[in-house]
Amino acid sequence: MGKRTPIQNILFYTAIILVLLFVLAPYVWMVSSSFKTTLEIQGMKPSWIPQTFTLENYRRMGKTVPIFKFFLNSLIISSGSMICSVILSVLAAYGISRFRFVGKNLYIVTLLSTQMLPGILFVIPYFVMFTWIKNKLGIPMANTYHGMIFTYTSFALPFSILMLRSYLDSVPREIDEQALIDGCSRAQALFRVIIPLAKPGITAVGIYSFIMGWNEILFATVLTRTDTRTISLGLLQYITQNEARWGEMMAACIISSLPIIILFTLYQKHIVQGLVAGATKG
Amino acid sequence: MKRSLILLTVVSLLMLAATAGATEIDFWAMTNAPSDQHYAWMNEKAAEFEAETGIKVNFEEIGWGEIMTRAANAIITGEGAHVFQLGTTQNPYFAGTGGLVEIDIDEFGGADSFFEANLESTTLNGKNYGIPWFAETRALFYNTEMLKKAGVEPPNTYLELVEVGQKIVEVYGKGTAIATAGTNAWDLIHNWAIILWAYGGDMLNPDNTAAAFNSEAGVKAMNYWVNLVATGLADEACAEYNQPQADAAFINGDAAMCFMGPWNIAGIEADNPDLPYDIVQPPAGPFGRASFSGGSNLVIRSNASKDEIKAAKAWVEFLLRPDILADYTKNLSKFLPSNKEALEDPYYETGVWATFVKTLGYATAYPPLVEWGEIEGTVQTNFGNVLADYVDGKYDQNSAQNYLDTAAAEVNEILGN
Amino acid sequence: MKKYRSLAYLFILPAVVAMIFVHIVPMAWGIMISFRDLNVFNIRDWTTAPFVGLDNYKKGFNPVTTIGQRFWQSVYNNLVFGFFTISIGFVIAMGVALLLNQPFYGRTFVRGLILIPYITPDVVVYNFWRFIFQARIGIFNEMLLKLGIIQERVIWLVGSNTIWTAIIAAIWKGWPFGALILLAGLQTIPTELYEAAKIDGANWWQRFRYVTIPFLQPVIKTLMIMNILWNFHAYNQFRVLFGDDPGRYAEVPSTLIMREAFNFFRYGLGSALSVILMLIMLAITLIYLSLFKVRVVE
């Protein structure tokens, strides 16, 4: 990889700029539209820069759709499923990574094959199951936070386990062995030694589950009502049979991207490491 | 210490008894008004109602897109609203599930106090399963300035509409004459139906056992809509619109005409108050004028307890009081009250409202059938296919007939023959 | 470490229990439902739904019935969607990965920026694409008109263009992940190999073909299998871009099944269609795994 000639340099940076334009242009459109008036948006001349700058969309987005309530719901549900899937996947991934046991391969294959199953396969049974649980056992499941956390945890779990397991595999076994020799129990070795070392992997898994919960709409359509409706579904309510509020929708889109963008900026390194580990060794 | 503990127990027991005595019901309505105003109004009325009757009402707003699922879930699980709003065309379906309370309409002022088409939509096999809440119908909105500049008067017939449109296009350019809704609109079928009726057609045969819409009138009506786009009167983009996007093109002043409802007036005031507009009744076909009768009813879930059903009925009665209903329709939903007495409010004789009231007088409703939702879906899908063919350049004079025949075959299957 | 074997079960137990309840049981339940005529009238107690044997499957499999025709069309659409989204997305990802593998000032920053589409929530992404693709008010047509690529506005959200609309949006959303993974793979290739190839007189293409590709092969295999699975779960793209009913050209199995089950309340039929879909996906995955000899277990 020698030095680039000046011409190669120009071509190279042009290519980089083109890639960035391709990536960023839609965001420019989103942000600029969120500051446009309805009149301008519905006009025939779409432009990159608002002709009259307005904050009206930000003021009204919460009135057209209770988007802040949905934001809170999503925060609760996504954080809940993040915590649950981190705990469960740390335990399971540690088990797979550090032990040989009967049925281990079968277990891994099962985990992988759940990735193959279309979500739609589960929606109808979930709906019927939640109805049945409520009718027979009296435990409300549909339209509850715990019901949604349960659902999302379960769907984030297989991939989380696989991702974390490949991360744990990269932590040398000698470290546990040393801890055991030093008199730690297995659990102590896990919590005191391995978990701190696996922090990047765990962060990646946590963020993966969080994003999954934030993104999901298939199950949320069927299993939530206004009390527990998630923000992703809320975003769809700006363009309906009786509204076409593009500007407000763009404003709400920006708001709903914020937590993810913030998480990403804070933990970029960990996310990248985790994703790479999950994909290259899973 | 001990005494205060006993006191506390007694007080809490008393409170428990008090709450046990009070009935609490959940109420769902669709997004009939901007969310914040809607909640404010409902909560205010619920408080009034509670002060009067001791019944607590919890209001929740539901999107039109999800009411079918939500209502079905409520009926299935017995969880959710005790009383809720249903669109007129959805009422028979849920009546058919056995999930709605049969209504004695005399308890709510008798059959004569409602518009016939709306009352009919609450029925299934001659029995009532809901109470009409408000009615909706559409009229032709037009941009007075654009028509004036083109030197034309608002059209009286569908043929005139095309002529007027051509004049406007000459002045303002392609696609400026009318804004229509496309594949993303549920209203597609309503817009088609009014022309179908004006040309003497019918949705189903007289005893509602077979499709009749693939008649000549149906084909003419469908071609009429496609031709509005094909001949350049409407913008090509109309093919992908939902109704609000078509409305927006009109409100923006980019299109001279649009079929809209009274609720759009609020939109005009909010987005473009300077728009010079007026309305006329829908144009006439060879068989006179026709309009679509839609609206919403209030229904009560049958797997609620006796007390809850009683409370739900009281709440419906409360909402239907002429002054309350008129307040709701005038200031919030901008629909027309279904109750004739509420419509006597002098407000409805003024301005554009008189036209809507007149139009409502001859509005036609769809047949009240359990299967209507599926029938509507079938017609909608096939109308969508016609538009898709047009966009792909595959549309010809046979397209409408072919797709309507396909739809008719499916509908006949749905109806069980 | 043999003596700790029983401990291993303890560690994986919670996850196993969770998975039995959330995957195995519902799946079995779904299969049971698919043999019944479960609808809104009898769902309150699903056991009362009449047993109809293979009727639901026959309806779904038979391309002559309305529903069967729609189902196979939707499977076909999904295949087309998957093929183009994955292959074009892969080419872009590879190109950008090669680009970013060059040293330059601000590389980490650029790598972070290109990941943004991948981490932006689905609904946000497809909502702004839906806005961008609006024929009259969208910026896409406007740009194409300005650049002189088209003379008249194109309708993107109705008709046979819809599938391409979905593909464009999905590629935009999906390629950064591929680029990231490929870049990570590229960085593991020792530079000496390139140097050696250069000395041997290999040109750019030969170095790419005989050094880069073989080295990246395992990464590419896993990337592909993930892409295949994700694109066959496609729902969000279509639901957000086109609504409940995406129309003939952009219908995918998930949107069709959702409508059948939750708009028309044919839960039994919907379950049967999902089972068929699962079998199709299983077949595709197995074919892929055996074709490319991907090792899933150690």
Q: Which of A51, A60, A243 to mutate to test the interface with B (most CBs of B within 10 A)?
A: A243
Q: Strand (E) positions, B113-162?
A: 123-124, 127-128, 131-136, 139-143
Helix (H, G, I), strand (E, B) or coil at B402: helix
Closest by Cβ to A134, choosing from B36, B79, B244:
B79
Mean per-residue pLDDT, C267-276: 91
Q: How far is C65 from chain B (nearest CA, A)?
A: 10
- CATH number reported for the structural domain that contains residue C155 in this entry: 1.10.3720.10
pLDDT computed for residue A280 by the predictor? 61
Q: How far apart are CA B281 and CA C146, in angstroms?
A: 41
Opening angle at CA A105, ends A100 and A106, nearest 5: 125
Taking 70 as the threshold, does the pLDDT of residue C3 lie above it? no
| Percent of chain C's residues with pLDDT above 90 | 37
Structural domains of chain B, ranges and CATH numbers in brackets: 22-136+294-364 (3.40.190.10), 139-292+371-414 (3.40.190.10)
Q: How far apart are CA A72 and CA A60, in angstroms?
A: 18
Instruction: Please report which residue ranges of chain C form alpha helices under DSSP H.
Output: 5-19, 25-33, 55-61, 66-100, 107-114, 116-119, 122-132, 139-146, 162-187, 191-199, 204-207, 213-232, 236-242, 253-262, 267-292
Give the residue among B84, B91, B57, B88 at the shortest CA–CA distance from B70. B84
CA-CA-CA-CA dihedral for B399, B402, B405, B407, to nearest 10 = -60
Please indicate if any CB of chain C lies within 8 Å of the CB of B385.
yes
- Touching B (3+ Cβ pairs <8 A), the chains are A, C
Quick check: is C21 in a domain? Answer: no
pLDDT computed for residue C196 by the predictor? 86
Q: How many CB atoms lie within 10 A of CB C136?
A: 24
Among B49-63, B71-85, C12-26, C41-55, the range scoring the smallest mean pLDDT is C41-55
Q: Which of A68, A241, A245 to mutate to test the interface with B (most CBs of B within 10 A)?
A: A241
Based on the structure, what is the number of domains in chain C? 1
Mean per-residue pLDDT, A105-133: 83
- Contact criterion met (CB below 8 Å) for C169 and B271: no
Q: How far apart are CA B178 and CA B165, in angstroms?
A: 7
Tens of pLDDT, residue by residue over A61-110, are 988 888 999 999 999 999 999 999 999 999 999 888 888 888 888 888 88
CA distances (Å), B26 to each of A267, B181, B300, C34, C118, in order? 44, 35, 11, 34, 41
- Contact criterion met (CB below 8 Å) for A222 and A126: yes
Closest by Cβ to B69, choosing from C153, C157, C262:
C262
Quick check: is C65 in a domain? Answer: no
Listed in sequence order, the residues at least 6 apart from A225 whose beta carbon sits closer than 8 Å to its beta carbon are A142, A143, B60, B70, B80
Please indicate if any CB of chain B lies within 8 Å of the CB of C41.
yes
Whether residue A186 and residue C7 make contact (CB cut-off 8 A), yes or no, is yes
Please indicate if any CB of chain C lies within 8 Å of the CB of B387.
yes
pLDDT tens, position by position, for chain B (417 residues)? 556 656 556 555 555 444 445 689 999 999 888 778 889 999 999 999 999 999 999 998 888 877 888 888 888 777 789 999 999 989 998 998 888 999 999 999 888 999 888 998 999 988 999 999 999 889 999 999 999 999 999 999 999 999 999 999 999 999 999 999 888 787 889 989 999 999 999 999 999 999 999 999 999 999 999 999 999 999 988 988 888 889 999 999 999 999 998 888 888 888 889 999 999 999 999 999 999 988 999 999 998 899 999 999 999 999 999 999 999 998 888 889 988 888 888 888 888 899 999 998 899 889 988 888 889 888 988 998 899 999 988 998 899 999 999 999 989 988 887
Listed in sequence order, the residues at least 6 apart from B321 whose beta carbon sits closer than 8 Å to its beta carbon are none
- Contact criterion met (CB below 8 Å) for B86 and B372: no
Q: How many CB atoms lie within 10 A of CB B132?
A: 28
Quick check: is C110 in a domain? Answer: yes
- Contact criterion met (CB below 8 Å) for A119 and C233: yes
B81 contacts on A by Cβ (under 8 Å): none
- Touching A (3+ Cβ pairs <8 A), the chains are B, C
pTM of the model: 0.87
Q: Which of B42, B62, B66 to mutate to test the interface with A (most CBs of A within 10 A)?
A: B66
Residue C209 is given by DSSP the state I
Compare B300 and C19 and report the one with higher pLDDT: B300
Compare B288 and A244 and report the one with higher pLDDT: B288
A131 contacts on C by Cβ (under 8 Å): 43-44
Whether residue A42 and residue B251 make contact (CB cut-off 8 A), yes or no, is yes
Taking 50 as the threshold, does the pLDDT of residue C2 lie above it? no
Whether residue A211 and residue C121 make contact (CB cut-off 8 A), yes or no, is yes
Q: Which of residues 22-61 of B touch C (CB under 8 A)?
A: none
pLDDT band per the 50, 70, 90 thresholds, residue A224: confident
C14 contacts on A by Cβ (under 8 Å): 87-88, 91-92
> What sign for the dihedral angle of Cα B235, B236, B239, B245?
negative
Pairing of the two strands B131-136 and B127-128: unpaired
Please give the residue range of the domain that contains residue C194: 71-263
By C-alpha distance, the chain A residue nearest C47 is A132
Compare A282 and C265 and report the one with higher pLDDT: C265
CA distances (Å), C169 to each of B173, C90, C172, in order? 32, 14, 5
pLDDT computed for residue C298 by the predictor? 44
CA distances (Å), B82 to each of B57, B333, C39, C54, C72, in order? 10, 22, 21, 37, 41
DSSP string, C55-88: HHHHHHH-TTSHHHHHHHHHHHHHHHHHHHHHHH
**Please, what is the angle between helix C5-19 and helix A67-98, to 10°?**
150
Quick check: is C155 in a domain? Answer: yes
pLDDT band per the 50, 70, 90 thresholds, residue A1: very low
pLDDT computed for residue B176 by the predictor? 94
Q: How far is B29 from chain A (nearest CA, A)?
A: 12
- Contact criterion met (CB below 8 Å) for C269 and A120: no
Please indicate if any CB of chain B lies within 8 Å of the CB of A61.
no
A236 contacts on B by Cβ (under 8 Å): 65
Quick check: is C144 in a domain? Answer: yes
Quick check: is C282 in a domain? Answer: no
pLDDT computed for residue B131 by the predictor? 95
Quick check: is C13 in a domain? Answer: no
B173 contacts on A by Cβ (under 8 Å): none
A249 contacts on C by Cβ (under 8 Å): 127, 131
Q: How far is A161 from chain C (nearest CA, A)?
A: 9
C160 contacts on B by Cβ (under 8 Å): 388, 391-392
CA-CA-CA-CA dihedral for A247, A248, A250, A254, to nearest 10 = 140
- Touching C (3+ Cβ pairs <8 A), the chains are A, B
Helix (H, G, I), strand (E, B) or coil at B279: strand
Q: Which of C158, C162, C249, C257 to mutate to test the interface with B (most CBs of B within 10 A)?
A: C158
Whether residue A23 and residue C139 make contact (CB cut-off 8 A), yes or no, is no
C27 contacts on A by Cβ (under 8 Å): 117, 121-122, 125
Quick check: is C216 in a domain? Answer: yes
Pairing of the two strands B291-292 and B363-364: parallel
Please indicate if any CB of chain B lies within 8 Å of the CB of C263.
yes
Q: How far apart are CA C273 and CA C258, in angstroms?
A: 10
Whether residue B245 and residue A65 make contact (CB cut-off 8 A), yes or no, is no
Tens of pLDDT, residue by residue over C232-262, are 888 999 999 998 888 889 999 999 999 888 8
Whether residue A244 and residue B272 make contact (CB cut-off 8 A), yes or no, is no
C239 contacts on A by Cβ (under 8 Å): 217-218
Q: How far is A261 from chain B (nearest CA, A)?
A: 29
Listed in sequence order, the residues at least 6 apart from C220 whose beta carbon sits closer than 8 Å to its beta carbon are C182, C185, C213
Among A21-35, A268-282, B116-130, B181-195, the range scoring the smallest mean pLDDT is A268-282
| Percent of chain A's residues with pLDDT above 70 | 97
Please indicate if any CB of chain B lies within 8 Å of the CB of A140.
yes
Whether residue C135 and residue B237 make contact (CB cut-off 8 A), yes or no, is yes
Q: How far is B76 from chain C (nearest CA, A)?
A: 5
Structural domains of chain A, ranges and CATH numbers in brackets: 1-54 (no CATH), 64-281 (1.10.3720.10)
